Structure 1
Amino acid sequence: MNNSLGFDFSPDFAPLAARMRPQTIAQYVGQQHLLGADKPLRVALERGQLHSMILWGPPGTGKTTLAELIASKADASLQRLSAITSGVKDIRLAVDEAKQRAQQHGRRTLLFVDEVHRFNKSQQDAFLPFIEDGTIVFIGATTENPGFELNNALLSRARVYRLQNLTDDDLRIVLQQALSDNDRGLGARQLSISEAAVDYLLMAADGDARRLLNYLEVASDFVESDSHDISLELLRNAIGAKQTRFDKQGDHYYDLLSAFHKSVRGSSPDGALYWYCRILAGGGDALVVARRLLAIASEDIGNADPRALQLALNAWDTYHRVGPAEGERAIAQASIYCASAAKSNAVYNAFKAARALAEQDKAHPVPNHLRNAPTTVHQQQGFGDDYRYAHNYPNAYVAGERYLPSAIAEQVFYQPNQRGLETKLADKLAWLRQLDEASDWQRGDDD
């Protein structure tokens, strides 16, 4: 086919990834947890049984291909929509065509919606009545967690299947198919690829079959006409630096941050450093990690090592003062320190318990001895009466005094752990309680 500019748009110019798209279940690689023998989805496909579903997984794991195979196996018409370019008008048109197809030809329609998470809630709702009455069998593909991005009403009408990154073994199969297939792949060129180049290609593909095939095609274009070899050097020059998977807002973003947080909490400086560098390698902002470190310093370290909070703040400040190159290293320093520091969630638990009581219990009045008395009127009301100034007593501590309302006088929120500095704090608080118990003076009920 020629356009007005004279360019040839022959199907032969389709990218390798498009040409190698599996035509049968036997050609499909990966997702054996869904398509292995006797797995429910495989059984449903073999029986030609259609049901609405959400295919959730990273790019290049075969979501679109699987939808096409399902439609083919069930002898249904496949209709595609992309949530990136479609709106409610397109949805209505697709539904009208599905109705005509059913009425005129008695044929079911499988409506495949790519990037379904990009539809807003009202757009997602537009599918519901037609899924309900069987006008369409709905298959949505998404890279984002359906539990966050899709309506509960849509989720209740569709089964969620999670697709996983392809393993290196899976990718090797895809690679071998592409190199050996004379019709769809590169078999006619009789290319060979070194084992070192294969390892680099698998690393760069990062579980994504489409990326692997795209890289392979680019590398094949660099092979000299009198050569058949794809070397490691040629492959590196062809595809450039590895592109790390990182979307800055989706599941993978939060997975990496979660892995970083749990590594610091679990006292693994190596784990913390690795996940931090993974975020940086994917184009993530180092300050995202700096913010998380501040939370960790309070939530997971607390008073077991109060220096952690200061070091996290210093790292943040350093980043702003000297820029990313040195600032990223300062955040790495803080990450390693926080991972190595003594851990305690006593402050976190104490604050959570006190906050819950303050929100759920009755609003106990402030006892008079704890109230301020800035005016004569306040003094006449008894505000500040019998307040005992701590610095006038031994050890700056008023044994037997009470600083909670009498109704909750025995409530204990903060219970230090026996780790780091909190061991000394625990010892001091235990000693102060002993002074309370030995004191002859105890404050009575609130006035």
Structure 2
Amino acid sequence: MNMPLAERMRPRTLEDYISQKHLIGTNGPISMMLKNDLIASMIFWGPPGTGKTTLAQLVAELSGRPFYTLSAINAGVKDVRDVIEKAKDQNLFSGGRNPILFIDEIHRFNKSQQDSLLGAVEKGWVTLIGATTENPSFEVVPALLSRTQVYSINSLDREDLEELIRRALIKDEYLSQKSVQIQEANALIRYSGGDARKLLNGLELVINSFSEDEEIIITDEIVTSRIQQNLARYDKTGEQHYDIISAFIKSIRGSDPNGAVYWLARMIEGGEDLKFIARRLLISASEDVGNANPTAMILANNTFQAVSVIGYPESRILLSQCAIYLANSPKSNSTYMAINKAQQAVKQTGDLSVPLHLRNAPTKLMKQMDYGKEYKYSHDYDNNFTYQEYLPDELQNATFYEPGDNKREQQDKFVLNQKWRGKYGY
């Protein structure tokens, strides 16, 4: 069969829908909406594979409303407006029963895309149901958030997952024809991470890995070996999330653009949050490139701003450009080390007094106490510089910033050494 098991097992009724009883139980808000035939705009917030799309489809089907769907991964403002126009026309022929517009991964819509939904929701042309794996408070614009109800969709627990396996082996047209023994299910459940889709597709993958004449006995060892052989997985909320972003940043730090763009591709294909990637690039531009190439910070910041506006799929190009630029840039962690040293000095020495000549003197009394006295205004001197002390007495001659071994910072080192007459050991 070409259709994956997870799709073949998609619930067709609320009775088939496993878990989320807090929403679809007798007095759950979704059940009450369906009972009263008053469907509000809402956002389903929860991990992947927990039934957000399925629940939206069931709401539409059980309420008898037309159902339109968009994926925020590849839909633009024009796509949103086209669907809204179709929904408006449909509304005229549906007895006032608002069509449902379902938007998957709604957090990936930028502000202008989300704003394009406001009028349609407010005027009742559509009932919006959004699905997101990210906290709507951070990813959905306030105007749209105020017009929707947010419902949490929980990860499936072990009992739910075991029931899914049992149902699949009994009810699926294809698997029910096979003799399958589940001796151990721990590895399947651990692999799923509470994601029904991953569980069912993993189960199908393992079963299909047996030859026609093999007895199908599923153990944890078999599941582990056969899933690892067949899947390049990326779990954006688990260990892989941290391992892959670590490999990405270390590739940039190590000046390997090929490694950087590969790990970037893994994150993009795995559905990682664009702004999370852009934030890490911005950090790397300062921590790893620093003053060896200050333009890196400007490019990384522009990338973050652009990604926040553009969204998928075009942002992958911006991220790629920035990652490769950072990987190819000369490297320096001098500013990162400088602040570390300065903070350590603060922890060791406490709140040292500000030298009198550096203190602010906004009142007559403060001036009488010599606040600001003998301060030398740098711009009054040649080359806008004059020799004076800027550190507390206890830290005179302490060196926090050590210029990196790169062309630009070595030029800085030469100039600093001349200005400070060797004070800092440059």
TM-score over 0.5 for the pair? yes
2:128 aligns with: 138
Pairing 1:32–2:21 present: yes
Over 3 Å counting, the alpha-carbon distance change for 1:32 and 1:244 in structure 2 is farther
Structure having greater relative contact order (Cα 8 Å, sep ≥ 6): 2
The total of aligned residue pairs comes to 272
Is 1:201 equivalent to 2:188 in the alignment?
yes
Who is 1:109 aligned against? Answer: 99
How far apart are residue 36 of structure 1 and its match?
Answer: 2.5
Query: Which residue number corresponds to residue 54 of structure 1?
Result: 43
Residue pair 1:244, 1:282 contacting (<8 A) in 2 also:
no
1:204-229 Cα deviation digits (max 9, x unpaired):
11111101111111101112323132
Contact 2:121–2:147 at 8 Å: present in 1 too?
yes
| Post-superposition offset of 1:237 | 2.0
Deviation readout 1:396-440 (Å, 9 max, x if unpaired): 9xxxxxxxxxxxxxxxxxxxxxxxxxxxxxxxxxxxxxxxxxxxx
Letter of the structure 1 residue corresponding to residue 53 of structure 2: T
Instruction: Confirm or deny that 1:17 pairs with 2:18.
Output: no
Deviates more, 1:236-245 or 1:79-88: 236-245
Q: Aligned partners of 1:371 and 1:362: how far apart in 2?
A: 6
1:119 aligns with 2:120: no
TM-score normalised over the length of structure 1:
0.55
Alignment of 1:229 with 2:230, yes or no, is no
- Answering whether residue 164 of structure 2 is matched by residue 174 of structure 1, we say yes
Larger Cα Rg: Structure 1 or Structure 2?
1
1:244–1:281 contact (8 Å) kept in structure 2: no
* Paired letter, 2:188: L
Deviations 1:124-169 (Å, cap 9, x if unpaired)?
1111111111110000111111111111110111000111111111
Cα distance in 2 for partners of 1:187, 1:363 equals 85
Q: What's the Cα RMSD here? A: 3.4
Partners of 1:232 and 1:285 lie apart in 2 by 29
Instruction: Indicate the percent of aligned positions where both proteins have the same amino acid.
Output: 38
Counterpart of 2:210, as a letter, is: V
Cα–Cα, structure 1 residues 156 and 234, in superposed 2: closer, same or farther, change >3 Å? same
In structure 2, the residue matched to 1:147 is 137
Alignment of 1:201-350 (within 5 A): 201-226=188-213, 227-240=215-228, 246-247=235-236, 252=237, 278=239, 282-285=243-246
Instruction: Determine the structure 2 residue equivalent to 1:81.
Output: 70
Q: Which runs of 5+ in 1 are unaligned?
A: 1-11, 254-277, 289-315, 318-345, 352-360, 376-389, 397-447
Amino acid at match of 1:368: M
> Displacement, 1:49?
2.4
Deviations 1:298-343 (A, max 9, x none): xxxxxxxxxxxxxxxxxx99xxxxxxxxxxxxxxxxxxxxxxxxxx
In the TM superposition, what is the alpha-carbon distance from 1:245 to its structure 2 partner? 6.9
**Residues 43 and 104 (structure 1 numbering): CA distance in 2 closer, same or farther, change over 3 Å?**
closer
Q: Residue 235 of structure 2 contacts residue 241 of structure 2 at CA under 8 Å; is this kept in 1?
A: no
Partner of 1:308: none
1:47 maps to a residue whose letter is: N
Give the whole-Å Cα distance in 2 for the aligned partners of 1:159 and 1:229. 45
Q: Residue 68 of structure 2: SS of its match in structure 1?
A: strand
Letter in 2 for 1:146: P
Change (3 A) 1:373 1:214: same
Q: 1:187 aligns with which of 169, 172, 176?
A: 176
The residue number in structure 1 matching 2:87 is 98
Report the counterpart of residue 33 of structure 2 in structure 1. 44
Partners of 1:59 and 1:19 lie apart in 2 by: 18
> In 2, distance between residues paired with 1:287 and 1:236?
26
Whole-Å separation in 1 of the counterparts to 2:180 and 2:367:
83
Task: Say which SS state the counterpart of residue 49 (structure 2) adopts.
Answer: coil
1:170/1:362 Cα in 2 relative to 1: closer, same or farther (>3 Å)? Answer: farther
Match of residue 381 from structure 2: none
Distance 1:42 1:374, change over 3 A: closer
Are 2:8 and 2:172, in contact at CA under 8 Å, matched by a contact in 1?
Answer: no
Q: Is the 8 A contact 2:84 2:120 kept in 1?
A: yes
For residue 369 of structure 2, what is the aligned residue in structure 1?
Answer: 368
SS where residue 176 of structure 1 aligns? Answer: helix
